[in-house]
Amino acid sequence: MFVKKKVSLILIISMIIILLFGCAEAGKSPIAKEEEVSPKVVDGEESVGLKVHFIDVGQGSSAFIVGADGKTMLYDAGGDDENSGRIIVDYIKEIGYEHIDVAVFTHPHADHINGAPTVFKELKVGSVYYPKATHTTRTFENFVEAVSKAGLKFKTAKAGVEIPFGETNAVLVAPISEQYENLNDYSATVKLTWEDTSVLLTGDIEKTSENEMIGSKQDLDIDLLFVPHHGSNSSTTDGFLDKTTPDYAVISSGKDNSYGHPHREVVNRLNKKNIKIYNTAEVGTVIATLDGEKIEIDTVGKKHVNDQGSNKNGSSNKVANDKIEMLDVAASISDPKPKQNSSVVLTAKVTSDGKPVEGAKVKILNHYKSKTTPYEGVTDKNGVAEISYEIGRASIDFEVKVDVTVVKDNLETKTQVSFTPQ
């Protein structure tokens, strides 16, 4: 209300100036003068500061940011599958934008980049920031190829780098180190500040990166936290919350996701510190408006995911029109000899009579020495599902067998792969 009154007062003063001085300059009409002093318009409304749209992409992450001056930023573009790109682009276009001034991608996991090819194909992107982290997956290769086809080169995302973003201060506060054992800790972490309000975008940082930031001399005091790693207990430590002191927290996760995100421990830590939580799995897209003094939060429901025909897990319900009579699956592990606490990617290629099968559910079961761990995924239009997960402190030199089960239209097929932690 204060901002609206302030803008109205500016308009009244501007009109008085026009009446007093507008006619003194020959050839310039009062109407032209009024257009010059009109307030900026963002999303069809008078701009009141920085807007962060945490887009509901299911089990993934994507935020679209609009500065008070109309500059735009995309932070990650991933979700359950490649359809996430369609969701992100449609949302951005729906609110009136065709151009992204700067894009920041946090790390190479599919749920943060699998929608990028659609973004680069349909929207003009000015520059791209990305950390020095690579991967062996097809999704990562598609991401790199999309950036190249757009005529862009990666600008290195690391702590201390200031990102040109108009009137909004944008600075990378992580990654701090050059190398990490866990790909999540490479996540490009950005602090955005508009006047006296700020937000921290964190990707999938875990305790290692959090502890580095805690020990740094960087100013991490914020108002809103984009909760790391979808609310996994691998992140959002008490120390990190004490360092950042947010009043609000946004979690991006899929409804009833197989990872159990957000984990109860994280929710409890946030509640204990009286931090207001918004979870996209429950409220849909979250829009935070930072007016320089305070933050206002709005939600727009589950429209954008549901419009894409997604089920309660956020995965695509689209199936091929041809009747499937048989299933074949070929599976592989990205690293057959991974290090403890690292991540692996299981890739499953599902076909029927040589043709890719879209929308098949892929279930995997890891048989560790002391436990079994399940994960799930859904095949994309190419019949491929990539399931990325961490192996934790798996027993060294113990062969972990991975059962792969594929289900589609009451048909089922199985295979098995393995890896041996080092």
In this structure, what are the phi and psi dihedrals at residue 316, rounded to the nearest 5 degrees? -70, 140
For the CA atoms of 19, 20, 22, 23, the dihedral, rounded to the nearest 10 degrees, stands at: 100
b (16+ CB within 10 A) / e for 98-108 = eebbbbbbbbb
- pLDDT reported for residue 4: 40
Q: Which two tokens stand for residue 174?
A: 């992580």
In residues, how long is the chain?
422
The letter for the amino acid at 15 is M
**Protein fold of 42-306:** Metallo-beta-lactamase; Chain A (3.60.15)
Q: Where are the alpha helices (DSSP H) in 150-289?
A: 207-215, 238-244, 264-272, 280-283
- pLDDT reported for residue 354: 77
Helix (H, G, I), strand (E, B) or coil at 53: strand
For residue range 124-175, list pLDDT tens digits in order: 999 999 999 999 898 999 999 999 999 999 999 999 999 999 999 999 999 9
pLDDT band at 303 (very low <50, low <70, confident <90, very high): low
- pLDDT reported for residue 133: 96
CA angle 374, 86, 73 (to 5 degrees): 100
Q: Which two tokens stand for residue 2?
A: 């204060």
DSSP 143-181: HHHHHHHTT--EEE--TTPEEP-TTSEEEEEE--SS--S
For residue range 18-76, list pLDDT tens digits in order: 333 333 333 333 323 333 333 344 444 455 799 999 999 999 999 999 999 999 999 99
CA distance 191 to 224: 10
Q: Which two tokens stand for residue 227?
A: 């909760």
113 DSSP β-pair partners: none
Q: Which residue has the higher pLDDT, 195 or 318?
A: 195
Q: Which residue has the higher pLDDT, 372 or 190?
A: 190
**Protein fold of 328-419:** Immunoglobulin-like (2.60.40)
pTM: predicted TM-score of the whole model, two decimal places: 0.67
Q: Which residue has the higher pLDDT, 353 or 35?
A: 353
Helix (H, G, I), strand (E, B) or coil at 279: strand
pLDDT band at 318 (very low <50, low <70, confident <90, very high): very low
Contacts with 24 (C-beta within 8 Å, 6 or more apart), sequence order: none
Q: Which two tokens stand for residue 172?
A: 């990378």
- At residue 208, does pLDDT exceed 50? yes
For residue range 374-408, list pLDDT tens digits in order: 998 889 888 899 998 889 888 899 999 999 999 99
